[in-house]
Amino acid sequence: MKPLKITASNEAAIVAALAAVNGKAVSHTFTSISEVVQAAIRAELAGLALVHSKSHLQGCKYLTHSGDTVPNSYKYARQGTQMTLMRRSECWWLINASSVDLYKSPRPNALYLTRAAADKARADLAKAFIEIPDVA
């Protein structure tokens, strides 16, 4: 799939890419631009909570799955959508979408940091606390 910038001007291309992945499935899948934008917002907030700067998010990826938890009465897998978003200099891009089998609960979302972003997050965390020295 060709990477797509997540903007209103790319709505038709994003919806078409999701439709191609989902086939006939609609109930537990990502189908609209608003769902993709919501995922990008979640990715941005999760990243900013760790590195506190949009410039450090460049190159980071966010993996998200559609669907909510369903009752135990769902015996078989249901079709969902998995999206991979990547932060580039100005915004998030949809770089991959695929069909996945979902069971009772969807897989958790995951933010993958670049080495530079992870180092920044570690440095910020180290500044946030003071270690208690061992008392002999």
- The pLDDT tens digits for 30-64 are 889 999 999 999 999 999 999 988 999 999 999 99
Structural domain that includes position 36: 4-69+76-119
- The answer to whether position 49 is within a domain reads yes
Residue with tokens 């909570």: 49
Domains identified in the chain, total number: 1
Q: What 3-state class would DSSP assign to 115? A: helix
pLDDT tens, residue by residue, 76-119: 777 888 999 999 999 999 999 998 887 767 778 999 999 999 99
| Sequence-separated (6 or more) residues with CB below 8 Å from residue 89 | 58
Cα 43 to Cα 86, 96, 110: the distances in Å are 9, 15, 9
- The answer to whether position 89 is within a domain reads yes
- The answer to whether position 126 is within a domain reads no
Look at residues 66, 67, 116, 107 and name the one whose alpha carbon lies nearest to residue 87.
Answer: 116
Q: CA 105 to CA 97: how far, in whole Å? A: 19
- The answer to whether position 129 is within a domain reads no
- Give this prediction's pTM: 0.84
Comparing 28 with 84, the larger pLDDT belongs to 84
- The answer to whether position 125 is within a domain reads no
